[in-house]
């Protein structure tokens, strides 16, 4: 039910959210008068809720009232006790598989990309230079600036040069069991689809992350790897990097975009700086675009373990078989143990900004976060930084932290990311473009030249989820095809490559 002032999601919900700031004394629907001032996106009690009773939104129990709550009262994060996590044992699977023919029909079926010998196509034509250790980062950044000034103008078909620096490589327990995650991330980023198969890896020479850990023996050649300690002084070092880069640029300059099917496109869905509208407007709209891509043969990845954990039975119901369900349960269990070892639970996730935006706890945040996955069946579950083997909707287990989830999805091979936000963030990635979608028109008006698409019209009754989802779908294909450039790329707002490393640092 939707009224002019408030939005209620499910019939059984006993709370609604304010479409905009509301004053105490306002009658928001017949017989419902507000007892408090209600900030935009925050919850309003639609009925009396005695202490200990359920507070329900999205048809899901968000928590239990700590004290009696009266009809028309403001409900904030301090008023709920968190429910127990759903069990990951004996999850039912395959009970909510939406047939392909019921997904929205894609309004376009091709795009212009860079075909690769294997895997998904590239959305950009980039020279990617990857370090094996943070020690080489400073040198590489200076070298890349020089490459951009002196070499790149000679190769007009190359979109750019990216220095992939990261905080891994040395001072780490390289043989620890969980070291496989950061090592896999570096390994897969080296072969990112936007790098066109051209390998350029720069090491220092004494680090633990040696070339053989990230490259097969046949690729460890002077054409592909460069060790800084081998060179006498600054000039020799820089000249060697530029000489290798130019050889790679010459090859990349021969690449051309070609018309490709949606099956050659792999994109990621992520959200950050979320608010209570994210699950009403931006995320469901992105989910609609995801469904359209999947029906057209494309591959869509969504992530963020803590932000789906409380909806794991819903995700299991969409898993196509027991194997996928078991992989989902295993990833949830691994992360539960990881958090417990750190002395926290899943509710350590919401930020002050999330709560200011009306999200009371991780349960409410998760219910909105899941919406960005759409309704398609889940065909595969990945560990952090793994590459997919299937086409369709994929759950890639990663931390929810924006600056760690993004690089994890990049390592899995996404060529583009759609990023939903309620509070606003300048987040971006240099390896692949990021389209920013906001949940409120107020956010778009505030950051008019930083947010690409507003889904706020859904809350205002001016647009449908299908309308905004179709707009997102068109922009995905336009940006992937190089026709449009999102704001984050226009300004060069690109976050660091923060690789997930749960292994010990020594």
Closest to 477 measured CA to CA, from 195, 112, 119, 115: 112
Q: How far apart (Å, rounded) are the C-alpha atoms in residues 11 and 46?
A: 11
Number of H helices, E strands in the chain: 13, 22
Q: What percent of the chain has pLDDT over 70?
A: 99
| Averaged pLDDT for residues 355-378 | 94
**pLDDT tens per residue across span 126-161:** 999 999 999 999 999 999 999 999 999 999 999 999
Give me the DSSP letters along 2-63. B-SSEE--STT-SEEEESS-B-TT-EEETTEE-SS-B-TT-EEESS-B-TT-EEEETTEEEE
Q: How far apart (Å, rounded) are the C-alpha atoms in residues 103 and 99?
A: 7
**Which of the four pLDDT bands, split at 50, 70 and 90, describes residue 1?**
very low
Instruction: Calculate the CA 405 to chain-centre distance.
Output: 6
Helix (H) or strand (E) holding 137: helix 137-150
Find out whether 229 and 204 touch, Cβ atoms under 8 Å: yes
Find out whether 495 and 429 touch, Cβ atoms under 8 Å: yes
**pLDDT tens per residue across span 14-45:** 999 999 999 999 999 999 999 999 999 999 99
Please check the confidence at residue 263 and state whether its pLDDT lies above 90.
yes
Q: How far apart (Å, rounded) are the C-alpha atoms in residues 17 and 130?
A: 46
Helix (H) or strand (E) holding 246: helix 234-252
Q: What percent of the chain has pLDDT over 90?
A: 97
Please check the confidence at residue 2 and state whether its pLDDT lies above 60.
no
CB atoms within 10 A of CB 59: 11
> Any idea how long the chain is?
506
Q: Is 342 helix (H, G, I), strand (E, B) or coil?
A: coil
| Averaged pLDDT for residues 472-498 | 97
Cβ within 8 Å of residue 13, ≥6 positions away? 46, 56, 57, 58, 59
Residue 39 to residues 18, 33, 64, Cα–Cα distance (Å): 7, 15, 21
Q: Which residue has the tokens 């043969």?
A: 297
**Which of the four pLDDT bands, split at 50, 70 and 90, describes residue 492?**
very high
Instruction: Calculate the CA 227 to chain-centre distance.
Output: 33
**Which of the four pLDDT bands, split at 50, 70 and 90, describes residue 392?**
very high
Please check the confidence at residue 307 and state whether its pLDDT lies above 70.
yes
Cβ within 8 Å of residue 269, ≥6 positions away? 286, 287, 290, 300, 301, 302, 303, 372, 373, 417, 418, 420
**pLDDT tens per residue across span 327-337:** 999 999 999 99
**Which of the four pLDDT bands, split at 50, 70 and 90, describes residue 467?**
very high
Q: How far apart (Å, rounded) are the C-alpha atoms in residues 147 and 457?
A: 44
Backbone torsions φ then ψ of 438, nearest 5 degrees: -105, 160
**Which of the four pLDDT bands, split at 50, 70 and 90, describes residue 498?**
very high
**pLDDT tens per residue across span 274-290:** 999 999 999 999 999 99
- The predicted pLDDT at position 4 comes to 74
Residue-averaged pLDDT of the chain: 96
What would the two tokens of residue 66 be? 């700590």
Strand partners, 395: 302, 381
DSSP 8-class letter at 299? E
**pLDDT tens per residue across span 338-362:** 999 999 988 888 899 999 999 999 9
- The predicted pLDDT at position 149 comes to 97
């Amino acid at each position: 039910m939707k009224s002019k002032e408030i939005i209620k999601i499910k019939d059984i919900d006993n709370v609604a959210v304010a479409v905009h700031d509301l004053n105490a004394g306002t009658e928001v629907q017949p017989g419902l008068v507000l007892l408090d001032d209600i900030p935009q996106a925050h919850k309003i009690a639609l009925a009396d809720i005695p202490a200990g009773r359920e507070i329900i939104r999205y048809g899901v129990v968000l928590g239990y009232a700590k004290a009696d709550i009266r009809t028309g009262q403001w409900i904030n994060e301090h008023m709920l006790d968190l429910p127990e996590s759903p069990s990951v044992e004996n999850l039912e699977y395959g009970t909510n598989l939406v047939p392909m023919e019921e997904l929205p029909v894609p309004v376009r079926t091709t795009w212009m990309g860079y075909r690769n010998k294997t895997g998904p196509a590239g959305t950009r034509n980039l020279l990617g230079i990857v370090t094996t250790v943070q020690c080489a980062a400073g040198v590489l950044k200076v070298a890349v600036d020089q490459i951009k000034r002196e070499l790149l103008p000679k190769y007009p078909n190359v979109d750019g040069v990216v220095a992939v620096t990261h905080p891994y490589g040395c001072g780490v327990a390289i043989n620890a069991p969980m070291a496989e995650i950061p090592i896999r991330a570096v390994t897969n980023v080296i072969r990112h689809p936007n790098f066109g198969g051209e390998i350029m890896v720069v090491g220092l020479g004494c680090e633990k992350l040696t070339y053989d850990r990230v490259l097969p023996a046949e690729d460890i050649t002077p054409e592909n790897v460069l060790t800084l300690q081998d060179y006498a002084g600054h000039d020799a070092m820089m000249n060697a990097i530029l000489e290798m880069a130019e050889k790679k640029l010459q090859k990349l300059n021969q690449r051309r975009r070609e018309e490709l099917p949606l099956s050659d496109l792999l994109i990621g869905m992520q959200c950050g700086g979320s608010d209570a509208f994210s699950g009403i407007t931006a995320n469901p709209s992105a989910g609609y675009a995801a469904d359209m891509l999947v029906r057209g043969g494309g591959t869509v990845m969504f992530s963020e373990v803590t932000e789906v954990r409380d909806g794991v039975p819903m995700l299991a119901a969409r898993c196509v078989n027991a194997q996928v369900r078991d992989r989902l349960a295993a990833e949830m269990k691994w992360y539960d143990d990881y958090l417990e070892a750190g002395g926290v639970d899943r509710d350590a996730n919401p930020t002050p900004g999330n709560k200011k935006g009306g999200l009371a706890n991780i349960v409410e945040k998760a219910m909105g976060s899941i919406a960005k996955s759409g309704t398609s069946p889940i065909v595969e579950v990945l560990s952090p930084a793994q590459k997919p083997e299937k086409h369709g909707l994929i759950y890639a287990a990663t931390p929810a932290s924006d600056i760690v989830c993004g690089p994890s999805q990049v390592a899995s091979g996404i060529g583009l990311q759609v990023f939903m936000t309620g509070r606003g963030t300048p987040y971006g990635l240099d390896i692949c473009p990021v389209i920013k979608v906001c949940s409120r028109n107020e956010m778009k008006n505030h950051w008019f030249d930083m947010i690409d698409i507003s889904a706020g019209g859904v809350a205002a009754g001016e647009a449908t989820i299908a309308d905004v989802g179709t707009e997102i779908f068109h922009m995905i294909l336009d940006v992937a095809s190089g026709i449009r450039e999102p704001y984050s790329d226009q300004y060069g707002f690109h976050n660091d490559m923060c690789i997930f490393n749960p292994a010990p640092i020594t």
